Amino acid sequence: MVASGVGRILSLDPGSVRIGVAVSDRQRTMAFPRAFIAVDGRELDALQAVIGEEDATLVVIGMPKTLSGAEGAAANTATAFASRLAEHIPTIEILLVDERFTTVTASQKLKGNGVSQREQRGKIDSAAAAVLLQTYLDRNSQ
């Protein structure tokens, strides 16, 4: 079930260099990629600003799992990131969601739209966050 808040949903695809960001519309039916946030020590403040700008009440964070569904080192990193974000912004609801294949799907969509592999570098993280969010929205529509 989609969280009961009335604000938008923000989706994050955290990486070691960039955090992909996507946001839902107010009706929580469509996902839209936003500019990524650089991991530079100020990313939590930047995310707090985006959450406020978008009036988000829920943050969905990609939880990378193995093909078998197990949680490995990458999942531990995502969990630690979610904990840091929750400490920094205790008023926001955070969900960790399986993100298997989001980057592959995002890359295929970008390629289908004529975006070269080289051009994808600055777009893939937020495109993956949008795939994650759209999947979440589709699965939890009422």
Q: Which of 93, 79, 78, 122 is nearest to 6 (CA)?
A: 93
Tokens standing for residue 79: 């969990």
Asked if 89 contacts 110 with a C-beta cutoff of 8 angstroms, the reply is: no
pTM: 0.81
Distance CA 79, CA 73 (A): 10
Summarised one tens digit per residue, pLDDT across range 16-34 is 899 999 999 999 999 999 9
Please give the CATH architecture assigned to the domain spanning 8-139: 2-Layer Sandwich (3.30)
Tell me the pLDDT band of 141, cut-offs 50, 70 and 90. confident
Summarised one tens digit per residue, pLDDT across range 62-90 is 888 666 666 677 788 899 999 999 999 99
pLDDT on residue 1: 37
Distance CA 29, CA 138 (A): 7
Tokens standing for residue 105: 């799907």
Distance CA 73, CA 64 (A): 9
Q: Which of 61, 58, 45 is nearest to 7 (CA)?
A: 58
